[in-house]
Amino acid sequence: MSALICGSMAFDTIMVFQDQFKNHILPEQVHILNVSFLVPEMRRNFGGCAGNIAFNLRMLEGDGLPMGTVGSDFGPYAAWMDALSIPRSALREIPRAFTAQAYITTDQDDNQITAFHPGAMNFAHECRVSDVTGVKIGMVSPDGRQGMIEHAQQFAEAGIPFIFDPGQGMPMFDGDDLNRFAAQATWLAFNDYEAKLMQERTGKSPERLAREAEAVIVTRGGEGSIIYTRGGTIDIPLAPAHQLVDPTGCGDAYRGGLLYGLQNGLDWEVTGRIASLMGAIKIEHAGTQNHGIERADFDARFKETFGFSF
């Protein structure tokens, strides 16, 4: 198995508030905040960072294996993975826990309020990189704190190149932790807010981090993304979406594209564009694993969007 994707496996309950949060939150009263949002639209999806990234990599016909911990309620998700031929051999069930659960409310400005129950994710450290053979590339994405620490160390000790992608897990780590991750990782991936937080906590800009890692990838929402390397910066344009439906999971779709490019030895100009297009395809659909495209159609859309084939 080429890519080992360490991270959360979760159920996402996604609710859509058909208004703007700002119209119902009084800034001067946030110290006594008590709000209720009517959400007539709700759906339950399969999610979690490792699951989402593996799903997107599989769509590109890449070779990936999610590694994480799940609860006794994982059955429907397991059946979904089997139907998609996404392997489950690196998942470990924690019988006394629920699978991680995210409750996400999105407003009409694409702002989100999320409540997250980690459940089985707290036991992520019980999975070990050494339990899997044939790993060529790795990824440490948001997961239990100790799991992220140990998996990064295990990749580094095994000499396996990996992406460190802290995502929503960033608040769990101080500057020393983040500097250690940066020293261990081969590549770093952030959104623009996380990159600023990384700089605040470590004192290192993306340009500075790119002198330690091989590359630092920073996504910027509607402004595309920037890849910082030792040789300079590469601007990756935004791939236009046919419609803007749901931003949840776009970062994971982008990261699936990154892994595909790295697995196949593609340069950053191409890899970044594959990742960008994956994000565009995702945002056109509600949920994190409800989009799909045949590989031939993806290739055709890539050429139409960027003017060349890879």
pLDDT digits (tens, 9 = 90+) for 246-275: 888 999 999 999 999 999 999 999 999 999
pLDDT at 43: 86
Domain membership of residue 75 (yes or no) is yes
Q: What is the CA radius of gyration of the chain?
A: 19
| Average pLDDT of the chain to the nearest whole number | 95
Cβ contact 7:66 at 8 Å: yes
Domain membership of residue 248 (yes or no) is yes
Domain membership of residue 30 (yes or no) is no
CA–CA distance, 205 with 170 (Å, rounded to integer): 16
Tokens of 19: 């208004």
Could you list the residue range(s) of the whole structural domain that residue 164 is in? Answer: 3-23+39-306
Residues 53-87: tens digit of each pLDDT? 999 999 999 999 999 999 999 999 999 999 999 99
CATH code of residue 81? 3.40.1190.20
Please give, one letter per residue, the 3-state secondary structure of the chain.
CCEEEECCCEEEEEEECCCCHHHCCCHHHHHHCCCCCCCCEEEEEEECHHHHHHHHHHHCCCCEEEEEEEECCCHHHHHHHHHHCCCCCCEEEECCCCCEEEEEEECCCCCEEEEEECHHHHHHHHCCHHHCCCCCEEEECCCCHHHHHHHHHHHHHHCCCEEECCHHHHHHCCHHHHHHHHHHCCEEEEEHHHHHHHHHHHCCCHHHHCCCCCEEEEECHHHCEEEEECCEEEEECCCCCCCCCCCCCHHHHHHHHHHHHHHCCCCHHHHHHHHHHHHHHHHCCCCCCCCCCCHHHHHHHHHHHHCCCC
Domain membership of residue 29 (yes or no) is no
Domain membership of residue 32 (yes or no) is no
Domain membership of residue 47 (yes or no) is yes
Q: Residue 1: pLDDT above 70? A: no
Of the chain, the percentage scoring pLDDT greater than 90 comes to: 86
pLDDT at 308: 98
Q: Residue 192: pLDDT above 90? A: yes
31 vs 198 pLDDT, higher one: 198
Domain membership of residue 33 (yes or no) is no
Closest Cα partner for 52 from 92, 97, 12, 1? 12
Domain membership of residue 159 (yes or no) is yes
Residue 112's pLDDT band (boundaries 50, 70, 90)? confident
Residue appearing with tokens 């601007």:
235
Residue 30's pLDDT band (boundaries 50, 70, 90)? confident
Give the range among 105-119, 158-172, 207-221 with minimum mean pLDDT: 105-119
Residues 130-149: tens digit of each pLDDT? 999 999 999 999 999 999 99
Residue 90's pLDDT band (boundaries 50, 70, 90)? very high
Q: What's the whole-model pTM score?
A: 0.92
Residue 284's pLDDT band (boundaries 50, 70, 90)? very high
Strands 64-71 and 3-6: parallel
Residue appearing with tokens 């590339």:
137
**Cα 260 to the center of its chain, rounded Å:** 14
pLDDT at 26: 83
**Cα 139 to the center of its chain, rounded Å:** 10
234: left (phi over 0), alpha (psi -120 to 50) or beta: beta
**Cα 307 to the center of its chain, rounded Å:** 27
Q: Domain count of the chain? A: 1
